[in-house]
Amino acid sequence: MIKRLLILFLAAIATGASIFFSVRSHGQGSSLPVTPVVTQQTGALPEYVPYMFLFDQHGSNLRKAAQLDLQGKDATFFRTMFKNQIGLRLMTLVMEQEAERLIGPRHQQDAQRSGYRWGSEAGYCIVDGQKVPLDRIRLRQKDGRELPLGSYQLFQRSAPLQDGVWWKMMRGLTTRNYGAVTRTFREAYGIEKSAVSERFVQASREKLQELLDRPLGHLDLCALLLDGTPVKGRQMIAAIGLDREGKKHVLGLREGATENATVVRELLEDLAGRGVDFTRPRLYVLDGAKALHAAVSKVAGAAGLVQRCQLHKKRNVLDHLPPQYHAAVLRQMNAAYTMRDYEDARQALERLLRELMHLNPSAARSLEEGLEETLTVHRLGLPESLRRSLSSTNIIESVFSGVEEHCARVKRWRAGDHLQRWVASALLKVESRFRRIKGYKEMPALLSALDAYGLQKGLAQQAQAA
């Protein structure tokens, strides 16, 4: 019976099904055999679950506990409890089978036996991010040394525990209510506030190291976005890469007092050390900060095509103008940037530049500064959908909005790597929800334009010579 239920349970879990029981009576006073019924999940619960059966303390047979009429949360609780008890029983059976394989079955004479049983002791296993008591079978070799059970060590792995804490915390759960929300075993422990906090610190530190050390040589990056965001008085600078399929990747992270060229250059040099080839032609989307531009020019040189964010350019120009001129100027800039042809867009912006020289020379100088770099996507001849995606830093700014949302939950920041751990964890959490950029089907146009630019500049020959 036990083996039959275990097989049924594992099959149900593997196929995404739910386990229910129906009971057939064979007459007054007769035993009630259990007939397992597995029904696929359809979003609706069955009308009733007539009986609940539990393992006894030896786990050798089943007894009827109560007649139930379960609906909604009660039925969900029953299924969870049954799954947990079956899981613990399965672990016990696995350890028992491993013990028999190592030293042979119980109560049988065997001159070749390599060891013998040494009773059991209280232990624990990791289930759903919590420690659950589990008796550990002890074995001794003939020389008296402990013979460990590999299955028990597997059940005690701390990596799933830490990873579970990290995922739950990044989904909004706090250390204060972690135990109340996640407890699925009455006797579970290790989910107190202090224990959860320690595990999250360790898990987030590992996530930070994972982000800083991940190899990047296998990524075929054709565009790279750089930007910084202030977090609790510090400047966090991140790099997001786009591959030839339009997929986004978090590449690196640096913390600095300001968004200065030294910090950005160190970030780019770190990316080079992990496999990014900066001699290849690539599009760099920046917000116009001089530190970002200087670092890209220093590291990428002629292979770096800079696209200045058009949205930042519009804001900068409007900041120099009185409010009554905002609508007209913004309309002209929008019309110029939506033009497909590079020459048409440049001539439209130059006409606006001449008008602004009479209206407000400061606004005109703001428009003129870096004007050509705001039209890089036009000069490359990219299709409209892809051009809109790569003409601004919206991609990386949306990532930073997710980072700010996660970091806003921290009430007290501490010294050390506290800030970096949270920002790195938030970046990895946001990365897990990444989708391809709009216009990803048009990425071959960008690749062709970059190849043509590389041939024009002779970058392929320089890379081979290097």
**Amino acid letter for position 352:** L
pLDDT above 90 (res 12): no
DSSP secondary structure letter of residue 415? S
- What pLDDT, on the 0 to 100 scale, is given for residue 77? 53
Please state, in angstroms and as integers, the Cα–Cα distance from residue 111 to each residue in 104, 133, 371, 385, following that order. Answer: 11, 35, 89, 77
Tokens representing residue 432 in the block: 């897990």
pLDDT band at 139 (very low <50, low <70, confident <90, very high): confident
- What pLDDT, on the 0 to 100 scale, is given for residue 82? 60
Greater confidence (21 vs 139) lies with 139
Where in the chain are the domains?
1-101, 116-213, 218-459
Q: Could you read off the pLDDT of 38-61 as tens digits, one per residue?
A: 333 333 333 333 333 333 333 333
Angle between helical axes of 310-318 and 326-337 (0-180°, round to 10): 160
pLDDT above 70 covers a percentage of the chain that reads 80
pLDDT band at 31 (very low <50, low <70, confident <90, very high): very low
pLDDT above 90 covers a percentage of the chain that reads 45
pLDDT above 70 (res 113): yes
- What pLDDT, on the 0 to 100 scale, is given for residue 67? 39
Q: Could you read off the pLDDT of 344-389 as tens digits, one per residue?
A: 999 999 999 999 999 999 999 999 999 999 999 999 999 999 999 9
pLDDT above 70 (res 410): yes
- What pLDDT, on the 0 to 100 scale, is given for residue 221? 94
User: CA 2 to CA 234: how far, in whole Å?
Assistant: 59
pLDDT band at 331 (very low <50, low <70, confident <90, very high): very high
- Long-range CB pairs of 370-375 (<8 Å, 24+ gap) are 370/288, 370/308, 370/313, 371/313, 371/346, 372/346, 373/306, 373/307, 373/308, 374/307, 374/308, 374/309, 374/310, 374/313, 374/337, 375/342, 375/345, 375/346, 375/349
Average pLDDT over residues 417-430: 93
Neighbours of 57 (CB within 10 A): 5
User: CA 199 to CA 267: how far, in whole Å?
Assistant: 29
Q: Could you read off the pLDDT of 44-103 as tens digits, one per residue?
A: 333 333 333 333 333 333 333 333 444 455 555 555 666 667 777 778 888 888 888 888
**pLDDT-wise least confident of 15-19, 214-218, 220-224:** 15-19
Which of 118, 123, 122 lies closest to 139, judged by CA?
Answer: 118
Geometric angle at alpha carbon 77, from 75 and 78, rounded to 5°: 65
- What pLDDT, on the 0 to 100 scale, is given for residue 368? 93
pLDDT above 90 (res 129): no
User: Taking all residues of the chain, what is their mean pLDDT, rounded to a whole number?
Assistant: 80
Contact 20, 46 (CB under 8 A): yes
pLDDT band at 157 (very low <50, low <70, confident <90, very high): confident
Greater confidence (303 vs 45) lies with 303
Who's near 76: CB < 8 A, 6+ residues apart? none
Neighbours of 267 (CB within 10 A): 22
pLDDT band at 289 (very low <50, low <70, confident <90, very high): confident
Parallel, antiparallel or unpaired: strands 130-141 and 115-127:
antiparallel
Tokens 């439209």 -> residue: 348
Average pLDDT over residues 231-250: 92
Greater confidence (191 vs 42) lies with 191
First to last CA, the chain: 70
Q: Could you read off the pLDDT of 394-409 as tens digits, one per residue?
A: 999 999 999 999 988 8
Q: Does residue 381 sit in helix, strand or coil?
A: coil
User: CA 149 to CA 99: how far, in whole Å?
Assistant: 7
pLDDT band at 179 (very low <50, low <70, confident <90, very high): confident
- What pLDDT, on the 0 to 100 scale, is given for residue 76? 56
pTM more than 0.75: no
